[in-house]
Amino acid sequence: MGLTVSLVIGPRHAGKSSLIGVIKDEVCQSRPHLLRLVPTNRATPANIAHLNPASNRENQNGCQFENIIYDPERVFETLPEILTQIHAKDRYGCVIIEGDADPNLLQAYPYDFALFIMPSPESENDIFRSKDQVKKAFEAAMNDTAAFTSEIFGVGGVDDSWSGERKTPRPDMSDTQMIRLLDSPLGQELASRIQCHPDYHGLIDSNAIVVNTGIGATSGAADAVVARLETLINDNSPVSNHRSIYCCDVLDRHDPRRKKLFTHLKQTYRLQRNA
């Protein structure tokens, strides 16, 4: 048994830090190492391969995060290196990582648990693409290798507007080829993933999804979104790897749906520590 590493990912202003604060207090049996991954831009080179205690920041929940600036294209080597440094100091510790909606993060390390959190949506269109957008995304993915890898694997960044022309045109697929692809397992998975806007690609590969009703809209759209997410996730996940969806206020201790979430998290944590 070594480090227990969990990832909390989602769009900005979804309540990730607040959720981690509660997990620290109510779930973890020892003080966890808290890392916040911040992507760098090309104009700001960063020394990302070491821990810097001076970068600690404390949020309103009393959580002190270690801010790690990373290059999205190098996170596959950077994150394991950071965790190796932590493991050298704490062989059996717990690490909780906070990241924005960068699907690269989900593939950068074999986490023990990955949780995707989002604010309560105002409408289904906040999460899901329109039929016209889905069609354009599918056509772009089929005719552009970079778009395909982004949609199916969440690797790299692709413009979500499809407003510009490709510099290197590729031949379109025939109707017969498109139908054959859609009937294949790969085509079905791609068709499922492109239903969501890029900021929500990560929910497909997470172990649990939280719709945080304490942040965002107060409309009734959340229930419709959860129902659609359940269909999407169940269709895209094997029975043995079923993903759970929780719609609750993560800071409201009287919310019965929140109790179900934390019962699940405590059970998961115990299983990880006993593995």
Number of neighbouring beta carbons within 10 Å of residue 51: 14
Q: Return the HEC string of 112-170.
A: CEEEEEEEECCCHHHCECCHHHHHHHHHHHHHCHHHHHHHHHCCCCCCCCCCCCCCCCC
CATH code: domain 4-123+202-274 is 3.40.50.300
DSSP symbol at 205: G
Half-sphere exposure of 27 (CA within 13 A, CB side): 27
Q: In this structure, are residues 35 and 68 in contact, taking their beta carbons and an 8 Å threshold?
A: yes
pLDDT for 171:
46
pLDDT for 55:
43
Q: How far apart are CA 176 and CA 119, in angstroms?
A: 40
Q: How far apart are CA 20 and CA 14, in angstroms?
A: 12
Cβ within 8 Å of residue 263, ≥6 positions away: none
Closest CA to 200 of 117, 256, 84: 117
pLDDT for 23:
94
| pTM flag (> 0.85) | no
Could you list the mean pLDDT of each consecutive 10-residue stretch along the chain, which spans 275 residues?
Answer: 87 93 90 91 47 44 80 90 92 91 87 94 90 80 61 52 44 61 65 81 88 86 88 64 83 92 89 66
- Domain boundaries of the chain, sorted by first residue: 4-123+202-274, 131-193
pLDDT for 213:
92
Q: In this structure, are residues 69 and 9 in contact, taking their beta carbons and an 8 Å threshold?
A: no
Our CA dihedral for 123, 124, 130, 135, rounded to 10 degrees, sits at 160
pLDDT for 163:
42
Half-sphere exposure of 77 (CA within 13 A, CB side): 5
Q: Is the four-CA dihedral 78, 84, 89, 91 of positive or negative sign?
A: positive
DSSP symbol at 196: B
* Three-state SS at 173: coil
Cβ within 8 Å of residue 115, ≥6 positions away: 6, 7, 8, 9, 19, 206, 207, 208, 209, 210
Q: Which H/E stretch holds residue 266?
A: helix 256-274
Beta bridge partners, 251, equal none
Q: What angle do CA 268, 269, 274 make, to 5 degrees?
A: 100
What's the gap between Cα 260 and its chain centre? 21
